[in-house]
Structure 1
């Protein structure tokens, strides 16, 4: 374990966070808010840490997979701990645990909140709150790699530890160039959404806030009633389309740039993703049409909420907790499924479900034809045994974490729907749940223990379990610094 290099990279990352805090500071000062000073104070602290530990490159610069996992797991916790300080020091969120919860929810693009009145927060704080979504969407390590120079092989270990999905590949030979390509596409899509929202009558500030949250598939809004505040079919439509776009594997956008249309159109994960969205919209539309008077209104609200939940964005235009049971069951299923691998969305990921489904088919075929040779393929590419093994272990760990978290949160003595959906929505980085944490409710009343569990679930869900399992390994910490 190369501890010196680990500390060096984490310190460098904290320095980048310090620079990022200057952006909401400028926004706060632009609106004449004194809260901008708290961003400056925290920024200075982070720069001091960077100067102390992140300037001198260690002689041994080599890191491997385990260092990558440790760096990623530790960095996300530290970014959240420091990122919560402006909320706490400014008094916007006077309880530090609540501030930490809100920040973790931001960086992990979950969108769950403890705020009972969002609109009373200063504009600088709301800007920082949504900016955490945008940074966390593509990944804080990917963001740092784009801005700084790290050894390319080392960078790839970090990218594979952070990019969601069963596999992470370089788009081009150099990992830093891959990070730049990913963020260039991310930036273009975000900017395009801002323009479309401006045409819908949003102010530039509101358009930026909601574009950040859509891009990161997080769902923070600066309005108490979320997107429902605007009551605009145009805005609903724009955000629905962009939520779906940000739930697509970004590798496919790179292939489109290379004009490899056939490869994109034949992508099995994309077919499954769009098919699940279309099927869910049809079922929910037909199920709720009686509540909205006509099929067009039902389609509008169904399509928005399906897109918001499967991409784990979590915006709301309707209180789906009041929908019929069939619709709520579909919503819960979408929470688990999540978006595509390599997207900014959370959840289990459609690629994993495809691998599991094809593995079951393979096993049935083996039973029927014991002497036959069968392989699991996706997009014509053989899935290695290591990848399949990793997927199986992920599912086992996912179920165990889900069960353990439900057990701990049950001490709050809420009804089962609230307890289960609260864990499910945080573990899958969705945002809203059902019953007492539905789309018009929040997490404020949960105990400190439950909020800690939710924070861990959000982090574990965003980084897909393994970095934090490694941090809990005693063998890792027995070695000398």
Structure 2
């Protein structure tokens, strides 16, 4: 393990976080908020930690191996989320564990909050929450590669350890050029959403904060009642659009920009993603009309927003915890499937769902016709058996984690259905669940044990399990082994 390069890159990451903390610090100074000293001290701590890591490390000319890439990504996320907790703690907004929970929830795009009174918090603290969504949404490492000089060579391993999906979709031959293009597109989408939110009647601060939360697929809001606070059908419609947009593959959007909309026709995952969302909207709309007597327009308004939200973001426009069991079941399935690979959303990913379905279909046909050779295809290209194997392994491990964490939650006295919902929503980085952590509730009332294990689960979900799990192996840290 090359600790010199690891410390050097981590030092640059921490120094970059210190710069980012300067934005809410200036806001706090401008508004004479009580959080200004907390941000000042947080920035100083980040600078000291960053400089200490830089002094004890060096860039060198050695290539990064897969092991160093995974270590930098895993340790980088742990450092960023821990240091991101400091403003909450030092300002008195949250305690130590609650601050860590809020920071991890923000950076991973989960949006599960332990703040009991959001509107009473200083605006700079709330804006910092939104910023953690935005920077964590596209990825701390992706933005780091895009904006800062590369730390040596082979940073592709850092990129691969953070990005999501069964395959690594490179849209440009040079990694830094690609990440810059993705970051630019991310910024354009955010600014566009902000402008449209302004036209929908939001103030500038509300618009930019909720635009960051939307595109980062986080779900944090400036208000205790989340998106219900606005009660604005036009705003909800546009938020639904941008949530669904953020759940798509950003690499695909880049190719659409370069080659035109015809690229979408050949993308199996994106078409399946839209079909799944459309089917879920239709099913829930019909169920709400039939079981709750809603008018069709009203039912579709709430169904479409929550389908777009719980598959990606976690905003709340209605108390879906009061909806029929069938509608809640559909929403739970969406929490598991999540968005597309290469998006800011988490979950299993639609590409894996498609490959699992195709592989299952092939197995059934092979049972009927043993000599028949059936191959799975994605985007018109045959998918190799090694990828199908990895997809199956990931899905098994994902479901195992959901069950294991739900079992741990029931051990803490949480009901079985509530525990299952909380486990699914935190591993899928969605946010709201059902019951005690439902649409109109928060996670503040949970025990310290539950909050601690949920912090681990949120990080596991954001980094797709393997990056953190592999770091638990003693062999991973042995110097003599090179990956």
TM-score by length of structure 1 reads 0.96
**Alpha-carbon distance in structure 2 between the residues aligned to 1:26 and 1:475:** 45
**Alpha-carbon distance in structure 1 between the residues aligned to 2:386 and 2:27:** 47
**Alpha-carbon distance in structure 2 between the residues aligned to 1:52 and 1:366:** 59
**Counterpart in 1 of 2:302?**
301
Give the secondary-structure state (helix, strand or coil) at the position aligned to 1:373.
coil
* Deviation at residue 53 of structure 1 after TM alignment: 2.5
**Counterpart in 2 of 1:88?**
89
Tell me if 1:16 matches 2:16: yes
Q: Which moved more, 1:81-90 or 1:8-17?
A: 8-17
**Counterpart in 1 of 2:453?**
453
**Alpha-carbon distance in structure 2 between the residues aligned to 1:50 and 1:78:** 10
Change (3 A) 1:68 1:299: same
State whether residues 152 and 175 of structure 1, in contact with CA within 8 Å, keep that contact through their aligned partners in structure 2: no
1:413-432 maps to which residues of 2 (within 5 A)?
Answer: 413-432=413-432
1:337-348 maps to which residues of 2 (within 5 A)?
Answer: 337-348=337-348
Change (3 A) 1:253 1:304: same
Report how many aligned residue pairs link the two structures: 479
**Alpha-carbon distance in structure 2 between the residues aligned to 1:364 and 1:433:** 35
**Counterpart in 2 of 1:97?**
97
Tell me if 1:435 matches 2:432: no
**Alpha-carbon distance in structure 1 between the residues aligned to 2:294 and 2:52:** 64
Tell me if 1:75 matches 2:76: yes
**Alpha-carbon distance in structure 2 between the residues aligned to 1:228 and 1:100:** 27
* Deviation at residue 365 of structure 1 after TM alignment: 2.8
**Alpha-carbon distance in structure 2 between the residues aligned to 1:414 and 1:49:** 39
**Alpha-carbon distance in structure 1 between the residues aligned to 2:404 and 2:280:** 30
State whether residues 133 and 217 of structure 2, in contact with CA within 8 Å, keep that contact through their aligned partners in structure 1: yes
State whether residues 104 and 455 of structure 2, in contact with CA within 8 Å, keep that contact through their aligned partners in structure 1: yes
Deviations 1:181-200 (A, max 9, x none): 00111000000000000011
Tell me if 1:61 matches 2:59: no
* Deviation at residue 277 of structure 1 after TM alignment: 0.8
**Alpha-carbon distance in structure 1 between the residues aligned to 2:480 and 2:7:** 14
* Deviation at residue 322 of structure 1 after TM alignment: 0.2
**Counterpart in 2 of 1:159?**
159
1:193-342 maps to which residues of 2 (within 5 A)?
Answer: 193-289=193-289, 291=292, 293-311=294-312, 313-342=313-342
Change (3 A) 1:148 1:4: same
State whether residues 10 and 75 of structure 1, in contact with CA within 8 Å, keep that contact through their aligned partners in structure 2: yes
State whether residues 406 and 416 of structure 2, in contact with CA within 8 Å, keep that contact through their aligned partners in structure 1: no
Tell me if 1:130 matches 2:140: no
**Alpha-carbon distance in structure 2 between the residues aligned to 1:292 and 1:116:** 33
Deviations 1:336-380 (A, max 9, x none): 110111000111100001111111122223333333333221011
Structure 1: gaps (5+ residues): none
State whether residues 206 and 222 of structure 1, in contact with CA within 8 Å, keep that contact through their aligned partners in structure 2: yes
**Alpha-carbon distance in structure 1 between the residues aligned to 2:282 and 2:59:** 57
TM-score by length of structure 2 reads 0.96
**Alpha-carbon distance in structure 2 between the residues aligned to 1:264 and 1:282:** 23
* Deviation at residue 252 of structure 1 after TM alignment: 1.5
* Deviation at residue 153 of structure 1 after TM alignment: 4.7
* Deviation at residue 274 of structure 1 after TM alignment: 0.7
**Alpha-carbon distance in structure 2 between the residues aligned to 1:372 and 1:323:** 46
State whether residues 102 and 112 of structure 2, in contact with CA within 8 Å, keep that contact through their aligned partners in structure 1: yes
**Counterpart in 2 of 1:178?**
178
Give the secondary-structure state (helix, strand or coil) at the position aligned to 2:154.
helix
**Alpha-carbon distance in structure 1 between the residues aligned to 2:101 and 2:261:** 42
Structure 2: gaps (5+ residues): none
Q: Which moved more, 1:71-80 or 1:284-293?
A: 284-293
Tell me if 1:368 matches 2:390: no
**Alpha-carbon distance in structure 1 between the residues aligned to 2:480 and 2:153:** 25
**Alpha-carbon distance in structure 2 between the residues aligned to 1:256 and 1:321:** 38
**Counterpart in 2 of 1:387?**
387
**Alpha-carbon distance in structure 2 between the residues aligned to 1:418 and 1:224:** 21
Q: Which moved more, 1:57-66 or 1:191-200?
A: 57-66
| Cα RMSD (Å) | 1.6
